[in-house]
């Protein structure tokens, strides 16, 4: 399959102060995006997502490494003709109307007047902003600007869409509509490269995700194989004594109480049989032992928090808490 | 072609942002000057109106170029609009030219409107409207063509405040180059002569465009001077825009 985006050992740093010290924004980032793929680019604020996107567009120059967009250097006309870009929190010309702005975008994409007019109207309808076509952009809310931003990114019917937080500023209905448009684009074979904080949307849309932390690529996740990558077993017990719960927590097992049962999460090859045997002997009843499906959120949290000095046990507790949204027994039972 | 698209947008934005409020301010100033200052003059009311009118057109044009031009590029960088525009198949030179031409078009329409008000003021007072005023105003337009290029040049690599300050400084020194040369000649100082030479080579000689006094006092303005001034304005602006492009191409949008 053709490679649309290619990043090889890309590094970028910014001058941080008057002493000319440089702060790394990207360090040795390497990945490819294939044609027709939906690729999510994840990371917390300041992780280097927008820096990567700007590098792809030729808006900044990288210090080291190589970037190719459809085989061309970023920022060249050949590359720009084949991509559409939606910036994060977009602001456009205040005094232009939505229709005028999209018309400008279409004309900049080499369309003639009549095609530009037709395409602008078509996209205003697609993003459900046709009723505001003649309203100046200064009167638009954040969500409305986001829709116009998506429309301008689509104006040239690009093969590659680079979307920086496409769901940002949208209400639930707006999010649903944008997701629907992106799904439609995906089904038409467009390549989508999107950064997002909304992991649920990413999980629904993306084929692969890259997790970035501190400017370093931590992990590439194949979202079709999610759940099979992390082997954690969820053991469901009843009649687990409080003393035993305390003992499990002391040993570092995440334990959670749901209704009348306790759930203990155990790494598959971590003496699971021995633990089950021990708990059954102590009077507990094992109701179920099932694989625990790991979400993208859990992987993301694990990767981005690796640097903040937490132990794997802390992380496991944390991710379980985040996932289930319940109070850990550990916290309740620890004096 | 794409620079024309952006020029139209820049012009439209400026007009809808009520930049022509400056034209209204100009009209008000002209009316007030005839009402307040004219009674203080003895038999020279017409000349006062002419002097104030022509000088004000230059002043208000300069203010417009400074206010609109200095923040023009920076605002788009700050709000990331420039990233959307430059992600389209458009070169940075086209972008910069679009900004320049849009600002110039705004300037042209504004000067035309002020000229109309000035002609009306002449008709309503004792001031005589002379066709040579159009030569003075044309020269003022040439001067502002250069100043617009200076604004675009500074805004291609620095902040709005510094752009305004540097442009204003260039405007002031550009008008003092003749004085600097005369001063160097009188003092005979080699250092002063060198400073005058460098200034003449690097900075725009804006005094070249000032024919207001000659026009108001019916002194001749030679056609060779006018042609040279027009050529100078076009060449200086073109060179400055070419340097701006070199700087702007290297600029990173963080």
Q: Are residues A162 and A81 in the same domain?
A: yes
* Residue A77 and residue A45 share a domain: yes
Interface test with A, best of B88, B91, B97 (most A CBs within 10 A): B88
Nearest CB partner across the interface for A85, out of B2, B81, B84: B84
Lowest mean pLDDT among A33-47, A130-144, A258-272, B200-214: A258-272
Inter-chain residue contact B16 with A136, CB threshold 8 Å? yes
Q: Are B64 and B140 in contact (CB under 8 A)?
A: no
For residues B110 and B22, the answer to whether their CB atoms sit within 8 Å is yes
Q: B9 vs A104: CB contact, 8 Å cut-off?
A: yes
Contact yes or no for A324/A260 (Cβ under 8 A): no
Residue B96 belongs to what H/E stretch?
helix B92-124
Query: So what's the pLDDT on residue B228?
Result: 93
Interface contact B5, partner A, CB < 8 A: yes
Q: How far is CA B226 from CA A142, B182, B206, B230, in A?
A: 52, 22, 13, 6
Tell me, yes or no, whether A156 and A48 share the same domain: yes
- Which of A179 and A324 is assigned the larger pLDDT? A179
Mean local confidence (pLDDT), B147-164: 93
Task: Quickly list DSSP for A265-327.
Answer: EEETTTTHHHHHHHHHHTT-EEEEEEEEPPPHHHHHHHHHTGGGT--HHHHHHHHHHHHH-S-
Q: Which residue of B has its CA nearest to A62?
A: B252
Tokens of A175: 């999010």
Name chain B contacts of A84, Cβ cutoff 8 Å.
87
Residue B69 C-alpha from the chain's centroid: 10
Single out the residue in A208, A225, A242 at which a domain terminates.
A225
Residue A239: give the domain boundaries. 232-333
CATH code for the domain of A194: 3.40.50.300
- Same domain assignment for residues A254 and A304: yes
CA nearest to B7 within chain A: A104
Structure tokens at B170: 């260039």
Measured distance CA(A322)–CA(A331) in Å, rounded: 14
Residue B55 above 70 pLDDT? yes
Q: A225, A253, A286 — which closes off a domain?
A: A225
Per cent of chain B over pLDDT 90 is 43
Same domain assignment for residues A46 and A95: yes
Mean pLDDT of the region B105-126: 88
Q: What is the mean pLDDT of chain A?
A: 84
One domain for residues A79 and A219: yes
H or E, element range at A98: helix A98-108
Residue of chain A nearest B72, judged by CA positions: A93
Whether residue A79 has pLDDT greater than 50:
yes
Taking residues A22-50, report their average pLDDT: 90
What does DSSP assign to residue B36?
A: I
A220 lies in the same domain as A251: no
List pLDDT tens digits, range B219-229. 888 889 999 99
- Do A123 and A219 share a structural domain? yes
Residues A243 and A295 in one domain: yes
Q: How many domains does chain A have?
A: 2
pLDDT in tens, A306-334: 655 444 445 444 444 444 433 333 333 33
Q: Please tell me whether residues A250 and A130 are part of one structural domain.
A: no
Residues A72, A184, single domain; the answer is yes
Q: Which of A50-64, A202-216, B197-211 has the highest mean pLDDT?
A: A50-64
> What's residue A316's pLDDT?
45
Residue ending a domain, among A225, A255, A279, is A225
| DSSP helix/strand/coil, A153 | helix
ipTM for the complex shown = 0.84
* Secondary structure E strands in A165-231: 191-195, 208-213, 216-222
With 90 as the cut, is the pLDDT of residue A11 above it? yes
In tens, the pLDDT along A199-233 reads 888 888 899 999 998 889 988 888 877 765 456 78
Q: What is the pLDDT of residue B106?
A: 93
A194 and A121 both lie in a single domain: yes
DSSP B203: S
- pLDDT at position A334, please? 36
DSSP summary character for residue B193: H
């Amino acid at each position: 399959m053709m490679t649309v985006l290619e990043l090889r050992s890309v590094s970028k740093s910014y001058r941080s102060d008057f002493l000319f010290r440089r702060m790394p924004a990207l360090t040795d980032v390497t990945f490819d995006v294939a044609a027709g793929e939906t690729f999510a680019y994840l990371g917390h604020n300041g992780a280097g997502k927008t820096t990567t996107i700007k590098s792809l567009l030729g808006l900044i120059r990288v210090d080291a490494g190589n970037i190719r967009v459809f085989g061309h250097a970023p920022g060249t006309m050949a590359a720009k003709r084949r991509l559409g870009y939606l910036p994060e929190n977009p602001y456009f010309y205040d005094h232009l109307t939505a229709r005028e702005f999209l018309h400008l975008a279409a004309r900049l994409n080499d369309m003639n007047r009549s095609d530009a007019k037709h395409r602008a109207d078509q996209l205003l309808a697609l993003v459900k902003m046709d009723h505001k076509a003649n309203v100046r952009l200064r009167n638009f809310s954040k969500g409305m600007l986001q829709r116009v931003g998506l429309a301008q990114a689509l104006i040239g019917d690009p093969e590659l869409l680079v979307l920086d937080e496409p769901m940002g500023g949208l209400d639930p209905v707006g999010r649903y509509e944008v997701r629907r448009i992106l799904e439609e684009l995906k089904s038409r074979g467009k390549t989508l490269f999107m950064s997002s904080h909304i992991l649920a949307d990413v999980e629904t849309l993306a084929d692969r995700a890259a997790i970035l932390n501190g400017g370093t690529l931590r992990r590439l996740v194949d979202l079709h194989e999610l759940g099979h990558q992390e082997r954690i077993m969820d053991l469901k017990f009843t009649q687990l004594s409080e003393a035993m719960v305390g003992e499990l927590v002391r040993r570092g097992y995440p334990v959670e109480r749901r209704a009348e049962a306790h759930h203990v999460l155990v790494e598959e090859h971590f003496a699971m049989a021995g633990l089950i045997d021990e708990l059954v002997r102590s009077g507990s009843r094992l109701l179920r032992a099932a694989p625990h499906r790991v979400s993208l959120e859990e992987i993301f949290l694990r990767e981005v928090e690796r640097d903040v000095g937490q132990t794997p046990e802390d992380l496991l507790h944390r991710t379980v808490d985040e996932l289930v949204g319940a109070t850990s027994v550990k916290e309740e039972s620890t004096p | 072609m794409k620079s024309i698209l952006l020029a139209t947008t820049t012009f439209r934005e400026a007009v809808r942002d009520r930049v022509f409020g400056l034209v209204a301010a100009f009209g008000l100033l002209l009316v007030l000057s005839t009402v307040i200052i004219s009674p203080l003059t003895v038999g020279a009311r017409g000349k006062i109106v002419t002097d104030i009118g022509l000088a004000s057109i230059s002043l208000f044009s300069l203010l417009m170029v400074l206010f609109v031009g200095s923040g023009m590029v920076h605002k788009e960088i700050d709000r990331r609009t420039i990233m959307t525009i430059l992600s389209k198949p458009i070169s940075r030179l086209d972008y910069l030219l679009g900004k320049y031409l849009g600002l110039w078009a705004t300037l042209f329409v504004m000067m035309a409107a002020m000229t109309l008000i000035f002609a009306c003021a002449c008709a309503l007072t004792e001031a005589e409207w002379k066709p040579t005023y159009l030569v003075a105003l044309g020269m003022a337009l040439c001067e502002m063509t250069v100043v617009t290029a200076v604004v675009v040049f500074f805004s291609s690599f620095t902040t709005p405040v510094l752009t305004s300050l540097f442009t204003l400084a260039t405007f002031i020194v550009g008008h003092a180059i003749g004085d600097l040369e005369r001063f160097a000649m009188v003092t005979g100082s080699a250092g002063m002569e060198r400073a005058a030479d460098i200034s003449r080579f690097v900075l725009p000689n804006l005094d070249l465009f000032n024919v207001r006094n000659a026009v108001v006092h019916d002194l001749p303005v030679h056609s060779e001077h006018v042609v040279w001034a027009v050529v100078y304005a076009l060449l200086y602006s073109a060179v400055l825009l070419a340097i701006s492009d070199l700087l702007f191409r290297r600029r990173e949008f963080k």
